[in-house]
Amino acid sequence: MKRGTLNLGFLNGYDPPWGDRLVPRVQAVLPVDVDKTEIRIDLPRYYAADRRQYNATLILAGVLRAAPRNGARLVGITRVDLFIPVLTFVFGQAQLRGRGSVVSTHRLRNEFYGLPADEGLLVDRTVKEVVHEAGHTLGLTHCPNFECVMHAATFVEEVDLKTERLCGACQALLEVAPPEPDEVQSVRSGPRTPARPAPPSGAARPGPADPAPPGDLASGRERRPQG
Ligand SMILES: [Zn+2]
Ligand SMILES: [Zn+2]
Closest-CA residue to 66 (of 96, 87, 46, 86): 46
More confident: 198 or 6: 6
| Residue 78 CB contacts under 8 Å (≥ 6 apart), including other chains | 10, 11, 12, 14, 43, 54, 59, 102, 103, 104, 105, 106
Would you put residue 91 in left (φ > 0), alpha (ψ -120 to 50) or beta? alpha
More confident residue, 64 or 197: 64
Distance 30 CA to ligand 1 centre (A): 13
The whole-angstrom separation of Cα 63 and Cα 9 is 8
Quote the CA–CA distance of 142 and 165 in Å, as a whole number.
13
- In the set 38, 111, 129, 133, the catalytic residue is 133
DSSP, collapsed to helix, strand or coil, labels residue 29 as helix
Contact (CB, 8 A) for 54 and 43: yes
Rounded distance from Cα 12 to ligand 1 centre (Å)? 32
Q: Which ligand minimizes its atom distance to the CA of 144?
A: 1
For residues 202 and 194, the model is more confident at 202
Residue 48 makes CB contacts below 8 A (sequence gap 6+) with 54, 55, 83
User: For residue range 105-134, what is the model confidence (pLDDT) as tens digits?
Assistant: 999 999 999 999 999 999 999 999 999 999
Q: Which residues contact 85 (CB under 8 A, 6 or more apart)?
A: 55, 214
Q: Ligand 1 mean position to 170 CA, how many Å?
A: 4
Instruction: Give the number of other CB atoms < 10 A from CB of residue 36.
Output: 15
User: Residue 216 above 50 pLDDT?
Assistant: no
Q: Which residues surround ligand 2, an ion (CB under 5 A)?
A: 226-227
Nearest ligand to the CA of 142 is: 2
pLDDT of residue 67: 86
**DSSP 3-state assignment of 224?**
coil
Separation of alpha carbons 8 and 50, rounded Å: 30
CATH class (in words) of the domain with range 5-180+194-198 = alpha beta
Rounded to an integer, what distance in angstroms lies between the CA atom of residue 184 and that of residue 125? Answer: 32
133 catalytic? Reply is yes
For 151-181, write each residue's pLDDT tens digit. 999 999 999 999 999 999 999 999 887 666 5
- Which ligand sits nearest to residue 222's alpha carbon? 2
Is the CB of residue 109 less than 8 Å from the CB of residue 124? no
pLDDT digits (tens, 9 = 90+) for 36-90: 999 999 999 999 999 999 999 999 999 999 988 888 999 999 999 999 999 999 9
Instruction: Give the ligand with the smallest distance to the CA of 135.
Output: 2
Which pLDDT score, from 0 to 100, does residue 69 have?
A: 83
**190 has pLDDT over 80:** no
Cβ atoms of 21 and 125 within 8 Å: the answer is no
112 C-alpha to ligand 2 centroid (Å): 21
199 C-alpha to center of ligand 2: Å?
6
